[in-house]
């Protein structure tokens, strides 16, 4: 029996380890994806004042702190039994769009792109964000870094602290938006929309124009037929900030749709002795093991699952891209793990469009920022859609608002079982008798998890050295304002 | 005149019990990334690079010039990597509040490993675990033995595990500060004495803060941030809202206060202050506007969770570094 | 053998220390468990002093100052009182029993009261058993 260990897994946020066991014939018997860490926020938040939690829980994840901040802020609103005034609600969502933009850019370009731009089996010393910049050229590289910086700056403007945001108070936000700053954000939002289109164009030129890639996405060892979860608005359109959680089965039929307060009727978690991370599953079906299909409680909560679970996007350009994606991949739902990457870019465009909508909303510069708190604090649940999945925060407090109990189901945790299963499938597809298992093969196994943690990873082939990299930036009237090209 | 090529420095960035925010703060150099890579070779950085533990183990001792270690030491893997990187690194920097003082994960020192496991794996309302299964350091599966790092009872700071050369505080450190320190290192400037806090000011946060303050701060009542309508201008403490400014080192650009939130002390105590919470207790005692014992007791009772507030980022690194059990 | 607690006591120079001195010169018997540290005023006692006493192995910490209104520096004992209340809240959150820390006013003439106070606190702390602070803070688990 041969055993391969990948430790640590890289190009993601957090720690992880993969153990691959092969039988004597050289085929893969089993794969374990282990999360070797735990920090225990659920326990040590006890005793803290509930309004402090929105700042403490951001430290669960420094890549998506804004998601925890929002889920926590909403849970704290609920603890006090209030709804923030419209301006506060919209400011939060505006912040949240900038957060999605920064995060999706970082993941696509810094974590994921190395696999398909530099190549999955390239020298590991090159297979990183710097390698990407080497390939695409400094001008495009700079553009990417600039857009991400602007998204970060908007977050700092609205949220105080550019990483660990301090925006929310129970019932509202701490700071309003001036007309001058609103104008700035509006300008930036227009840039984001262009950049969203630009990123989809890169994706189109590099991946979709290449038959082999499309083939790998659709037919490669990276597919998993499981349930899909995502937050939707009243029209069943994708929403990140609020709505109901909808789950569809592997055939696309609605399994359930629940309000945040009902989460405990629909989701449960189990413990395995070989990982510190728990394994959520759909309660109505129950845990049937690491198996695919309609009768298994395993679900994923990712950009792709969100698109699967919804009926469309709430903004026009994103809706077009949504339709195009499903058309190309043969209809809904899609189970190709690597399509998560495409879905992520559709979401990037949605975030940009929504950011622009909010930045031009007359209410956004309102001055009523906080609701009055006159009820005794007690218990509250907050749900948002984090970049990596549906995020649930549930708090209980005493009558002074000091936290007595906390339950959190983190975005990535939803995907624990699917990641284990995707890794096994990828390993089984890639490691076979007669195959030399080198770092390239092992990286291709890693690509299966990276897709969940935003990453596009294109199986067995590296890209050609030269890419058709000329991208035109257009203003709203369609005039070319700027051209960015790959410098060789 | 031909420019002389300076040899590049070898830089590593690693996380222990961390949130990733410190690594993101490195990424937040944005366009300056090009300057950084012109001056440094990144030799280990799991968030962005495919370099594995075995690659680090294969490096000769002292191979890495500078390691930015972020995150606290929470388990045996964190400890092992801290020791390994110490051995491979010339200048080891405790980067960010978690490595510096224990940070937010350090709040777990208010509880124990057993209590924490019980809550997470048994009691949480969505968990179903009738057999009381716990993650095990070693576990036999049909295919072989799986190992997990051992989870410790205590959260430790980096310097409670290995010798640390410098501290760069913040949760996460302000990126501009990082760039300044980094550029100083690559320029070959003389480094401050070992053990120094770098990338922060020698003054307290209040010196930097633009909020209006009077000389005579007297407080009759303390408020939680949601209990008052902050006027956006007056010092939080003067409004009766606990702000860690007096017991915190400046340098972050008063980030939270710019967002109308009081400081929570992530930059750690100012120079010559051994314990941030003790300093805060002194500062507050001076401001309470009462001499009568009963009244004092009543005012102090309004301060909820003093230990969790005064030591929000620094419990493991403080004089009383954990709760007795 | 019964447990003999160590009690670190901070006494202000002007009243409390003189009071303790009086207990000595009047040959009033009291428990020998107390280690006296003289400070100029109770207002000089920083929270770090108290915390340090515990981490160095004190089983109890006693702070004494002049009666309200009598502080040589006018306000020192009020400041001390406010710190004491904060410290009490703090140490209890860290699991240190509240009876291990005590603040009392002792005037220069209260030698007898001082002796009784020491006896009383010694008994209380003896009842609580040895403090675990030093051991816990120096052993990582
Ligand atoms: S110091 Fe703050 S940003 Fe850095 S790892 Fe710790 S929690 Fe995250
Ligand atoms: S206490 Fe806080 S608000 Fe007041 S001056 Fe200091 S830092 Fe500013
Ligand atoms: S204001 Fe305080 S808590 Fe906020 S970043 Fe600065 S030092 Fe840290
Ligand atoms: S001099 Fe005795 S308390 Fe101040």
Confidence of residue A220 (pLDDT cuts 50, 70, 90): confident
Express each pLDDT in C30-89 by its tens digit.
Answer: 999 999 999 999 999 999 999 999 999 999 999 999 999 999 998 899 999 999 999 999
- In this structure, the residue with its CA closest to atom 3 of ligand 2 is B235
Other CB atoms within 10 A of residue C62 CB: 28
What separation, in Å, do the N-terminal and C-terminal C-alpha atoms of chain B show?
Answer: 68
Could you identify the residue written with the tokens 């509930």?
Answer: A50
Structure tokens at A404: 């007595």
β-sheet bridge partners, residue A473: A482
| Mean pLDDT score, B73-96 | 96
Contacts for A285 with CB less than 8 Å, ≥ 6 apart: A295, A296, A297
Asked which of A353-362, A474-483, B167-176 is least confident by mean pLDDT, the reply is: A474-483
At A339, the pLDDT band (50, 70, 90 cuts) reads confident
Give the span between the Cα atoms of B52 and B46, in whole angstroms: 8
Q: Please indicate if any CB of chain A lies within 8 Å of the CB of B304.
A: yes
C-alpha torsion angle, residues A79, A81, A86, A92 (rounded to 10)? 10
| pLDDT of A306 above 90 | yes
Domain positions in chain B are 9-104+153-197, 110-152, 205-310
Residue A4: how many other CB atoms lie within 10 Å: 17
Give how far B193 is from chain A: nearest CA, Å.
30
Statement: residue A458 has pLDDT above 60: no
Report the CATH architecture of A40-444: Orthogonal Bundle (1.10)
Q: Answer yes or no: is pLDDT of B111 > 80.
A: yes
Determine the pLDDT at residue C105: 96
Q: Are A293 and A304 in contact (CB under 8 A)?
A: no
pLDDT recorded at residue A440: 77
Q: Chain B 122-141, CB below 8 Å of chain A: which residues?
A: 124-129, 133-136, 139, 141
DSSP string, C75-119: SHHHHHHHHHHHHHHHHHHTT--GGGEEEEE--TT-HHHHHHHHH
3-state secondary structure of A391: strand
What does the pLDDT look like over B262-317, one tens digit per residue?
999 999 999 999 999 999 999 999 899 999 999 999 999 999 999 999 999 999 99
DSSP letters for C11-50: EETTTHHHHHHHHHHTT----TTEEEEEES-GGG--HHHH
Return mean pLDDT, chain C. Answer: 95
N- to C-terminal Cα separation, chain C: 29
Strand B40-44 relative to strand A480-485: parallel, antiparallel, unpaired?
unpaired
- Length reported for chain C: 141
Kindly state whether C91 is in contact with chain B, defined as any CB-CB distance less than 8 angstroms.
yes
The strand pair at B89-95 and B166-168 is best described as parallel
Ligand 3 within 6 A of CB of B263:
yes
Instruction: Return the number of other C-beta atoms located less than 10 Å from residue A459's C-beta.
Output: 24
Nearest to C89 among B152, B154, B300 (CB): B300
The token duo for C3 is 């447990």
| pLDDT category of residue C128 using cuts at 50, 70 and 90 | very high
Chains A & B: contacts with CB separation below 8 Å: 263
- Contact (CB<8Å) A11/B47: yes
Beta-carbon contacts of A171 under 8 Å, excluding residues fewer than 6 positions away, are: A77, A80, A82, A83, A84, A88, A370, A371, A372, A373, B226
Cis peptide bond prior to B172, omega within 30° of 0: yes
Tell me the mean pLDDT in the region B21-41.
Answer: 83
CB-CB under 8 Å, B305 with A62: no
pLDDT attached to residue A456: 21
- Identify whether the C-beta of residue B279 lies closer than 8 Å to the C-beta of residue B247: yes
pLDDT digits (tens, 9 = 90+) for B209-238: 999 998 778 899 999 999 999 999 999 999
Residues B267, B204: Cα–Cα separation, whole Å? 10
Task: Give the SS3 label for residue A57.
Answer: helix
**Cα separation, A369 vs A372, whole angstroms:** 10
* Residue B18 confidence (pLDDT) above 70: yes
Q: What is the mean pLDDT of residues B318-325?
A: 95
Give A363's DSSP letter: G
Contacts of A267 in chain B (CB under 8 A): 126
Rounded distance between C-alpha atoms, residue C55 and residue C57, angstroms: 5
* Whole-number pLDDT of residue B14: 92
Per DSSP, the three-state class of B232 is coil
Alpha carbon A234 to its chain's center: 22
Distance CA A236, CA B16 (A): 41
B293 token code pair? 């014992």
d(CA A315, CA A302): 19
Closest-CA residue to B12 (of B60, B63, B54): B63
**Residue A472's pLDDT is what?**
42
H or E element in which residue A384 lies = strand A379-386
- Token pair 């140490």: residue: C91
Question: Angle at Cα A349 formed by Cα A348 and Cα A354, nearest 5°?
Answer: 100
Q: What is the pLDDT of residue A464?
A: 29
pLDDT confidence bin for A480, thresholds 50/70/90: low
Give residue limits of the domains in chain A.
Answer: 40-444
Chain C residue numbers with beta carbons less than 8 Å from the beta carbon of B322 are 94, 136-137
In the CATH scheme, what is the code of domain B9-104+153-197? 3.40.50.700
Q: Residue A162's pLDDT is what?
A: 82
Tokens at residue A375, please? 């009820």
CB atoms within 10 A of CB A8: 19
Residue nearest to atom 6 of ligand 1 (CA): B98
- C-alpha A287/C-alpha C137 separation (Å) is 43
Distance from CA of C85 to the nearest CA of B (A): 6
Under DSSP, the state recorded for A148 is H
Question: Would you mind telling me the total number of residues written for chain B in this entry?
Answer: 325
pLDDT in tens, C88-121: 999 999 999 999 999 999 999 999 999 999 999 9
Say how many Å lie between the CA of residue B241 and the centre of ligand 4.
Answer: 30
Mean pLDDT of A319-342: 92
Where is pLDDT greater, at A219 or B170? B170
- Reported as a single tens digit per residue, the pLDDT across A252-295 is 999 999 999 999 999 999 999 999 999 999 999 999 999 999 99
Ligand number nearest CA of B251 is 3
DSSP B271: T
**Is the per-residue pLDDT at A471 higher than 80?**
no
Q: What pLDDT band is residue A431 in, cutting at 50, 70 and 90?
A: confident
Q: What is the SS3 assignment for A228?
A: strand
The whole-number pLDDT of residue C1 equals 58
Please state the φ and ψ torsions of residue A487, each to the nearest 5 degrees: -95, 130
> Which of A42, A48, A51 has its CB closest to that of B124?
A42
Count chain B–chain C contacts defined by CB atoms under 8 A: 92
Q: Is A162 exposed, middle or buried (0-12, 13-18, 19+ CB in 10 A)?
A: buried
- The answer to whether the pTM exceeds 0.95 is no
Confidence of residue B30 (pLDDT cuts 50, 70, 90): confident
B54-to-A210, A403, B33, B81 alpha-carbon distances in Å = 36, 43, 27, 11
Quote the radius of gyration of chain A (alpha carbons, Å): 22
Contact B205, B253 (CB under 8 A): no
CA atoms within 13 A on the CB side of B86: 16
**Inter-residue contact B317 to C102 (CB < 8 Å):** no
Is C90 in Cβ contact with B277 (below 8 Å)?
A: yes
Share of chain B above pLDDT 70, in %: 98
Confidence at residue A461, expressed as pLDDT on a 0 to 100 scale:
25
pLDDT for the residue A215:
78
Angle between helices C16-25 and C111-128 (to 10 degrees): 100
The strand ranges marked E within A23-83 are 28-34
Residue the block writes with tokens 């105080």: A160
DSSP A116: I
A340-359 helix and A86-105 helix, angle to the nearest 10 degrees: 140
Nearest to A39 by CA among B286, B18, B256: B18
Residues in C 6-45 with any Cβ partner in B closer than 8 A:
none
Residue A463 banded pLDDT, cuts 50, 70, 90: very low
More confident residue, A208 or B2: A208
B241-252 b/e with 16+ CB inside 10 Å = b? Answer: bbbbbbbbbbbb
Per-residue pLDDT, B5: 62
Q: Hey, what domains does chain C have and what are their CATH numbers?
A: 7-140 (3.40.50)
Burial of C72 (0-12, 13-18, 19+ CB in 10 A): middle
Please report residues of C whose CB lies closer than 8 A to that of B325.
Answer: 95, 136
For C141, which residue in chain B has the nearest alpha carbon?
B153
For A464, how many CA atoms within 13 A lie in the half-sphere containing its CB? 10
User: Rg of chain B over CA atoms, in angstroms?
Assistant: 22
Strands B64-70 and B9-15: parallel
**In this structure, are strands A28-34 and A17-22 parallel, antiparallel, or unpaired?**
antiparallel
Token reading at A369 = 């920022």
Q: Is a pLDDT exceeding 70 seen at residue A470? A: no
**From A109, which residue of chain B is nearest by alpha-carbon distance?**
B48
Which residue's CA is the nearest one to ligand 2's atom 5?
B206
Residue C138 tokens, joined = 């120096």
A215 contact partners, CB below 8 Å, separation of at least 6: none
- Better pLDDT: A221 or A404: A404
- Answer whether C91 sits within 8 Å of B310, measured CB to CB: no
Query: What crossing angle do the helices spanning A65-80 and A138-159 adopt, rounded to 10°?
Result: 20
Tens of pLDDT, residue by residue over A184-194, are 999 999 999 99
Report pLDDT for A487.
Answer: 36
Return the residue whose CA atom lies nearest to atom 5 of ligand 1.
B18
């Amino acid at each position: 029996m041969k055993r391969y260990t990948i430790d640590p897994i890289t190009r993601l946020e957090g720690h992880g380890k993969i153990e691959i066991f092969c039988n004597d014939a050289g085929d893969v018997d089993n794969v374990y994806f282990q999360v070797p860490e735990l920090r225990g926020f659920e326990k040590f938040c006890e005793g803290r004042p509930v309004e402090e939690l929105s700042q403490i829980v951001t430290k669960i994840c420094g890549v998506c702190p804004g998601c925890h901040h929002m889920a926590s802020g909403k849970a704290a609103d609920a603890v006090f039994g209030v709804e923030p005034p419209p301006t506060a609600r919209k400011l939060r969502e505006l912040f949240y769009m900038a957060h999605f933009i920064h995060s999706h850019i970082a993941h696509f370009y810094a974590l994921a792109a190395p696999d398909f731009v530099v190549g999955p089996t390239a020298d590991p010393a090159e297979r990183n964000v710097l390698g990407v910049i080497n390939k695409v050229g400094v001008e495009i590289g700079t553009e990417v870094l600039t857009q991400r910086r602007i998204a970060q700056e908007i977050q700092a403007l609205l949220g105080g602290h550019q990483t660990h945001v301090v925006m929310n108070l129970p019932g509202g936000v701490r700071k309003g938006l001036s007309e001058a700053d609103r104008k700035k954000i509006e300008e930036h939002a227009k840039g984001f929309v262009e950049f969203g289109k630009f990123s989809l164009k890169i994706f189109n030129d590099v991946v979709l124009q290449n038959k082999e890639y499309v083939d790998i996405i659709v037919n490669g060892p990276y597919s998993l037929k499981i349930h899909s979860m995502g937050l939707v608005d009243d029209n069943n359109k994708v929403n990140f900030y609020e709505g109901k959680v909808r789950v569809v089965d592997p055939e696309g039929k609605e399994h359930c749709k629940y309000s945040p307060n009902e989460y405990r009727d629909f989701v449960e978690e189990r413990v395995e002795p070989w990982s510190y991370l728990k394994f959520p599953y759909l309660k109505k079906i129950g845990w049937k093991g690491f198996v695919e299909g309609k009768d298994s409680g395993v679900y994923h909560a990712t950009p792709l699952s969100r698109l699967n679970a919804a009926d469309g996007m709430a903004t026009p350009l994103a809706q077009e891209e949504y339709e195009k994606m499903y058309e190309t991949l043969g209809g809904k739902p899609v189970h190709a793990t690597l399509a998560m990457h495409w879905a992520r870019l559709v979401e990037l465009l949605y975030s940009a469009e929504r950011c622009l909508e909010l930045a031009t909303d007359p209410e956004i510069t309102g001055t009523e920022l906080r609701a009055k708190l006159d009820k005794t604090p007690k218990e509250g649940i907050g749900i948002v859609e984090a970049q990596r999945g549906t995020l649930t925060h549930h708090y209980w407090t005493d009558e002074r608002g000091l936290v007595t109990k906390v339950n959190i189901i983190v975005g990535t945790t939803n995907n624990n079982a699917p990641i284990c299963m995707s890794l096994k499938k990828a390993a089984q597809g890639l490691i076979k008798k007669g195959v030399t298992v080198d770092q390239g093969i092992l990286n291709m196994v890693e690509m299966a998890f990276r897709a969940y943690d935003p990453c596009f990873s294109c199986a067995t082939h590296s890209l050609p050295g030269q890419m058709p990299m000329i991208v035109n930036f257009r203003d709203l009237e369609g005039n070319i304002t700027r051209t960015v090209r790959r410098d060789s | 005149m031909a420019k002389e090529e300076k040899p590049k420095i070898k830089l590593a960035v690693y996380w222990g019990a961390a949130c990733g925010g410190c690594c993101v703060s490195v990424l937040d150099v944005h366009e300056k990334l090009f300057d950084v890579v012109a001056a440094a070779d990144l030799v280990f950085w799991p968030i962005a690079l495919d370099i594995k533990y075995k690659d680090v183990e294969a490096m000769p001792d002292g191979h890495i010039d500078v390691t930015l270690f972020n995150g606290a030491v929470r388990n045996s893997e964190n400890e092992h990597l801290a020791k390994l990187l110490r051995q491979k690194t010339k200048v080891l920097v405790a980067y960010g509040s978690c490595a510096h003082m224990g940070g937010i994960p350090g709040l777990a020192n208010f509880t124990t490993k057993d209590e924490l496991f019980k809550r997470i794996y048994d009691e949480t309302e969505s968990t179903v675990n009738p057999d009381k299964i716990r993650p095990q350091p070693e576990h036999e599966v049909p295919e072989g033995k799986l190992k997990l790092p051992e989870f410790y009872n205590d959260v430790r700071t980096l310097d409670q595990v290995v010798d640390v050369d410098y501290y760069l505080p913040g949760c996460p450190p302000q990126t501009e500060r990082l760039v300044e320190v980094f550029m100083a290192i690559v320029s070959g400037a003389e480094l401050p004495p070992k053990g120094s806090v770098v990338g922060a000011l020698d003054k307290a946060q209040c010196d930097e803060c633009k909020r209006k303050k009077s000389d005579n701060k007297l407080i009759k009542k303390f408020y939680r941030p949601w209990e008052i309508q902050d006027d956006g201008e007056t010092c939080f403490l003067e409004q009766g809202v606990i702000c860690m400014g007096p017991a915190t080192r400046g340098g972050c650009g008063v980030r939270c206060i710019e967002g109308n939130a009081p400081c929570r002390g992530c930059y750690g105590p100012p120079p010559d202050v051994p314990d941030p919470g003790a300093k805060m207790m002194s500062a507050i005692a001076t401001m309470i506007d009462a001499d009568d014992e009963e009244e004092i007791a009543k005012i102090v009772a309004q301060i909820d969770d003093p230990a969790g507030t005064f030591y929000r980022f620094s419990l493991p690194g403080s004089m009383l570094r954990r709760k007795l059990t | 053998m019964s447990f003999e607690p160590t009690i670190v006591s901070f006494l202000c120079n002007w009243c409390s220390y003189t009071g303790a001195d009086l207990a000595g010169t009047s040959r009033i018997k009291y428990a020998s468990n107390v280690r006296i540290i003289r400070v100029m005023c109770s207002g000089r006692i920083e929270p770090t002093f108290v915390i340090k006493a515990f981490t160095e192995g004190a089983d109890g910490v006693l702070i004494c100052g002049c009666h309200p209104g009598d502080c040589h520096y006018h306000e020192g004992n009020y400041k001390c009182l406010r710190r004491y209340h904060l410290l009490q809240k703090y140490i209890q959150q860290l699991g240190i029993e509240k009876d291990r820390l005590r603040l009392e006013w002792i005037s220069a003439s209260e030698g007898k009261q001082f002796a009784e106070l020491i006896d009383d606190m010694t008994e209380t702390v003896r009842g609580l058993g040895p403090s675990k602070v030093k051991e816990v803070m120096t052993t990582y688990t």
